[in-house]
Chain A
Amino acid sequence: MSAADSDTLHSATAAGHLRILRAARRVASEPLGALGIALVALMVGGAVLADWLAAYEPNRISPRDRFLGPSWSHLLGTDQLGRDLFSRVLHGGRIALSVALFSTATSLLIGVALGLIAGYGPRWLDNLLLLLFDSVKSFPTVMLALALVTLFGPSLTAVVVVVVLVNVPGYARIIRTQTLSLKESEFVIAAQSMGAGMGRILRVHILPNVLGPLLILASMDIPVVIAIEAGMSFLGLGVRPPTPSWGSILNDGFTAIRDTPWIAIAGGLPIILTTLGFTFLGETMRDVFDPRLKGRR
């Protein structure tokens, strides 16, 4: 690469950074976007700093402190084993966010690969993959989760597999449609006529053009993923006790809802705030980055 080339490359990335910065400022200037950023920052901050913010060990059992209501020493109260709920909520955030990030990334990888294959590969493979996507989508999510847990047993792996199965068909379809239309475009045909192989065309010419809208949609799916993890843990199909998860705290609260409602409140509140935060942020981001996607869901 010549010096001039690398210079253009540098200024191109610099312009990219500038564009992202400008877009971020626009998201933050919308009231809903600002609220979204604040809520997400609160939750991510709480999860990352859980070790410093939590006054107690999240799994420390203390029989003398069972079912204490909210107070200054226990901000959200304690549960049936005397564990501090605020500490458990903070640590539960780690589970929620790491499952969300990991399973979304996995779904993206698989979805992009399958979508490229369906869009660029032979016709029969495309039809086969589409049929498979439709069939997987034909199971109601919770039924799919329940059926899969019979196979894997309750675990975080089962949660990730459910999320991947739920997300991949949608992502792959978007990539497929975009690939199909790009396949016929002039710059791809030009690259082909210059002798570029399939791998290069997909990587250099098609992928960069299809990723943008997909990433926005994937970020809007994060609240759904968080809900799946919490929902499965609520049913006892996700994380195993005593690992703190918002869903399992909610379940503890559900069992004791008549006498000690604060446990259910402590489990539900972070789920509500986080899903709201990510949704507000995602909606604003979509409107700012790509107004065409409006009304897609």
Chain B
Amino acid sequence: MLNYTIKRLALAVVIVSVAMFLLFSMIYLIPGDPAAVALGPRATEAMREALRIKMGLDQPVWVQFWNFFANAWTGDLGREVLSERPVSHVVMEQLPFTLALIAGGITWSVALGIPLGCWAAVKRGSWADRVVGVLSVAVIAVPSFVVAIYALLIFAVTLRWLPAIGAGEPGSAGDQLIHLILPSLAVGLGWVGYIARMVRASMLEVLEAQHIRTARAFGLPDRMITYQYALTIAILPTITLLGVGIGQMLSSAVFAEIVFARPGVGKLVYDAILTRNYPLVTGAVLVTTVLFVLINLVADLLIGALDPRVRSRF
């Protein structure tokens, strides 16, 4: 397990480094002078020159790359162009909102997906199974931003059951939770389908297993066999699936944050692009990428700890 952990960790570090390199080359390739873009058309040549030196743009490319790289690994992502606040602070301020949104999405998908998948597996071949199957495919197919807009239209604008805008009063947990319901539904709905299908498939496999048959032969109640013996094993594969899922939810979160005017990293990047605040764009993209790699790392290590076969494949 130690060997596997070290290899998987090394891979994560390499992936983040390559991602950094790709990001850096991208900023480098952006047409135009970043200093001129940042200061706008009314800046004097002297101001531009000063900013260029401050941003390190007068150095050779490889020095610039090394600085970017070394600073990023120590958590220094540079400063915002206008307010001069450290990018890492700005991103960290917004990150909790996005994480809460994703946690909400996971809650929706697990709370609906696992019971639906389990039910479909137990009632295999019945109309209930078919309905769950078609529904799962359908919610996977529909893009999250359409779900967000329609949810906004139905529950916030027409029925007025839930708030449409913002993240709620800063101090009040209840208000924040109410503001989380619709955006997190938009983020998590597709994953209800994925999880239901996954749980159904692995439940069907587990229900055929020897120890379940033995349990049946001993006359244990069906309820106990399904939920205590079968489901606990059948849930395992969904852990890796959630690793991938969180990455996709990060994408959906961008839309949910924009549609519901919530603070968060996605909205931060979007606004930064519209105002050409490039250090903020790269910083925030880098943070979410690292987050994504970390989540996948944790998911892989978890599944490696639970299933020795995965370790040996490495």
Contacts and interface: CB of A to CB of B under 8 A. Distances in A.
A254 B29 CA distance: 34
Given A143-B269, A261-B153, A295 B281 contact: no
B197 to A, nearest CB: 8
B137 A140 contact: no
B142 A147 contact: no
A283 to B, nearest CB: 6
Nearest to B29: A151
Contacts of B141: 223, 275-276, 278-279
Contacts of B140: 279
Contacts of A64: none
Contact of B19 (A135, A146, A254): A135
A90 interface: no
A235 B152 contact: no
Interface string A135-172: 11011111100111111000000000000000000000
Contacts of B23: 147
Interface string A260-297: 01001100100110011011100100000000000100
Contact of B15 (A135, A146, A253): A135
A250 interface: yes
A19 B86 CA distance: 63
B223 to A, nearest CB: 27
A251 to B, nearest CB: 9
A100 interface: no
Interface in B146-167: 146, 149-150, 152-153, 157-158
Given A131-B18, A149-B273, A151-B30, A258 B285 contact: no
Nearest to B293: A138
Nearest to A265: B153
A132 interface: yes
Contacts of A114: none
B247 A140 contact: yes
A132 B270 CA distance: 26
B143 interface: yes
B37 to A, nearest CB: 10
Contact of B250 (A140, A227, A258, A268): A140
A278 B140 CA distance: 12
Nearest to A275: B141
Interface residues of B, number: 51
B292 interface: yes
Interface string A41-75: 00000000000000000000000000000000000
Q: Residue among B11, B145, B278 with the most chain A CB within 10 A? A: B145
Contact of A257 (B15, B143, B149, B282): B149
A238 to B, nearest CB: 12
Contact of A143 (B134, B146, B150, B288): B288
B138 interface: yes
Contacts of B70: none
A142 B251 contact: yes
B207 interface: no
A234 interface: yes
Interface string A192-218: 000000000000000000000000000
Given A141-B251, A142-B255, 10 more contacts: A135-B15, A146-B273, A147-B282, A151-B30, A223-B141, A231-B145, A235-B258, A265-B153, A275-B141, A278-B141
Q: Which 9 A-B pairs have the closest CB atoms?
A: A227-B143, A279-B141, A135-B18, A142-B251, A140-B250, A275-B141, A142-B254, A268-B146, A141-B251
6 contacts: A131-B14, A138-B16, A138-B296, A146-B254, A151-B29, A223-B141
